[in-house]
Amino acid sequence: MIDISTERPLYVSTDGTAGPYIMVPLDQLDAVRRLLDQHSIRYSVDEDAISLNDKPYVTVVDLGRGGDAAAVQTILDNAR
């Protein structure tokens, strides 16, 4: 799946200690949620969205400490 604001693939980040997460443009959140729901992936969405330097708002989709980053990345990569 391509990030609509950067035109680069969405990716699962594994830095930090809270578990894997995806930074998602707010305008694309519904599509990402549908995709994760279709694959029965557990996640939570941060309540706040941020915008830096007048760029589109972005929110964080947390996959949790037990989240399988590689599996979710494969799902994102195969999404059309």
**Domain boundaries in the chain?**
12-78
N residues, the chain = 80
pLDDT at 17: 79
Query: What's the CA angle centered on 24, arms 37 and 9, to 5 degrees?
Result: 95
Q: CATH assignment of 12-78?
A: 3.30.70
Render pLDDT for 10-54 as a digit per residue (tens, 0 to 9).
999 998 778 899 999 999 999 999 999 999 999 999 999 999 888
CA distance 31 to 28: 6
CA distance 1 to 75: 8
Q: Write down the pTM of the prediction.
A: 0.91
Question: Is residue 69 pLDDT above 90, yes or no?
Answer: yes
54-78 mean pLDDT: 95
52 Cβ contact partners less than 8 Å away, ≥ 6 residues apart? none
